[in-house]
Amino acid sequence: MDSITKTNISKDNIIQMVKKAFGEDTVLKGVKELKGGFFNTSYLLTLQDNRKIVLKISPPKDVRVMKYEKDILANEVYVLNRISKDLDIPVPKVLHYDTDKDIIETDYFFMDFVQGYALNDIYDELTENQRSSVSSELGIYAKKVTDIKSDYFGDILKKDKQFKTWSEAFLSMIKELLDDARDNRVKLIYDYIDIYSMIEEHSEALDMVKEPALIHKDLWKGNIFVNPQTAKIEGIIDYERAIYGDVLLEPVCGFLLHNYAFMNSFFGRAYLEDDEKIRAIIYRIYLFIIMITECSFRQYPWEDSDKWAREQLGEAFEELMNFDG
């Protein structure tokens, strides 16, 4: 996917990076850019023994990114290492993480290549039973991740974005997001201050979340790799946006809230209580403002996603204002 956040590097750079990570005798046989991502740059590399690995590179230093996207490569490396160490979940193993900036000016890491196909590429080919099976399995894995707890809410690595309550953490996330929208002159349905106030009014519902849990926060179909023959998940990628927060944020940001198979295995039930319904609406508002704002930052060459996100945002605001639970 084309985006100004993608870092372009030469094959010579990649050869240097490979030799630094795996030894001077390592031979690079093939390089293929992986086009599916929206933010970082990724390459599929083939080494002399036909082993396949992935190189993932953070955006160029001079490219403006959204505030929550700064240094999120480090976040992903931390989470992948934590999951690989503590949980039996199919995630790629980090092979080498480099922050020296002696070859290129950005951070990067190597990880195992994940077998299978992205779920969004094969979804239409799967039967309903296979889709349900994948959703249930994803729910089980996502639930295992939320078993990793913390004593604070918010950013995993940045101490200035860690809070004792979920309302403090989430309102900070909202403020940061609205600041990005304002800085990039993104027009939203309501004034930035009014949007913040609408959400702040529901701090009590946010504070019903008492336990910070690790959540992926980006479980859309493109990040789930599946074996189409067995309908088994081969890998779950892109943990860069993971935070400690409300587990309900997971199905909202993954567009899985109405996926009964996922909700039953992840949440234990497909229905929501009133305080959960309010939070789900608020999280949808957060998600669609992100989608609208990132379109302006990354300068995507299409308008359909922005139009759809704006329509969804309008519906979410209407639900919030008409909620009578």
Q: What is the mean pLDDT of residues 128-149?
A: 98
Reported as a pLDDT band with limits 50, 70 and 90, residue 324 is: confident
Strand 162-163 to strand 28-34: parallel, antiparallel, or no bridges (unpaired)?
unpaired
CA 197 to chain centre: 26
Domains of the chain: 11-112 (3.30.200.20), 117-322 (3.90.1200.10)
- Tokens 């309010």 map to which residue? 278
Mean pLDDT within 278-283: 98
SS3 316: helix
Q: Does the structure show a pLDDT above 70 at 325?
A: no
Residue 238 Rama label (left phi>0; alpha psi -120 to 50; beta): left
Q: How far apart are CA 194 and CA 210, in angstroms?
A: 27
Instruction: Give the tens place of pLDDT for each residue, 190-224.
Output: 999 999 999 999 999 999 999 999 999 999 999 99
What pLDDT was estimated at residue 90?
97
* Residue 316 binned pLDDT confidence (cut-offs 50, 70, 90): very high
Q: Does residue 37 register a pLDDT over 80?
A: no
How many residues can be counted in the chain?
Answer: 325
pLDDT of residue 56: 95
What is the percent of the chain with per-residue pLDDT over 90, rounded to a whole number?
A: 86
- pLDDT of res. 54: 97
Query: Which ranges of 103-165 would DSSP assign to H, the alpha helix?
Result: 119-122, 128-146
Q: Per-residue pLDDT for 38 more than 80? A: no
Residue 16 contacts by C-beta under 8 Å, 6 or more apart in sequence?
103
**Stretch 280-298: mean pLDDT:** 92
Cβ neighbours of residue 261 closer than 8 Å, sequence gap 6 or more:
131, 132, 133, 135, 136, 139
Per the model's pLDDT, the better-predicted residue between 316 and 300 turns out to be 316
Average pLDDT, integer, range 29-38: 82
What's the pLDDT at 35? 77
pTM comes to: 0.93
Residue with tokens 């809410």: 153
Contact 188, 195 (CB under 8 A): yes
- Give residue 61's pLDDT: 81
- The residues, ordered by sequence, that sit 6+ positions from 215 with a Cβ below 8 Å of its Cβ are 142, 145, 146, 242, 243, 244, 245, 246, 247, 249, 250
Q: What is the mean pLDDT of residues 5-12?
A: 78
Among 36-45, 155-164, 257-266, where is mean pLDDT lowest? 36-45
Query: What are 125's two structure tokens?
Result: 């080919």
How high is the mean pLDDT of the chain?
Answer: 93
H/E stretch holding 297: helix 274-298
Q: CA-to-CA distance for 166 and 121, rounded, in angstroms?
A: 35
Which pLDDT value is given to residue 300?
A: 60
Tokens of 235: 């890998």
| Cβ atoms of residues 309 and 288 within 8 Å | yes
Report whether pLDDT(302) > 70: no
**How many angstroms separate the CA atoms of 45 and 29, rounded?**
8
Q: What is the pLDDT of residues 219-266, one digit of tens each?
A: 999 999 999 999 999 999 999 999 999 999 999 999 999 999 999 999
111-135 pLDDT tens trace: 999 999 999 999 999 999 999 999 9
Task: Give pLDDT, residue 6.
Answer: 58
Arithmetic mean of pLDDT, 155-166? 97
pLDDT band at 1 (very low <50, low <70, confident <90, very high): very low
Q: Is the pLDDT of residue 146 over 90?
A: yes
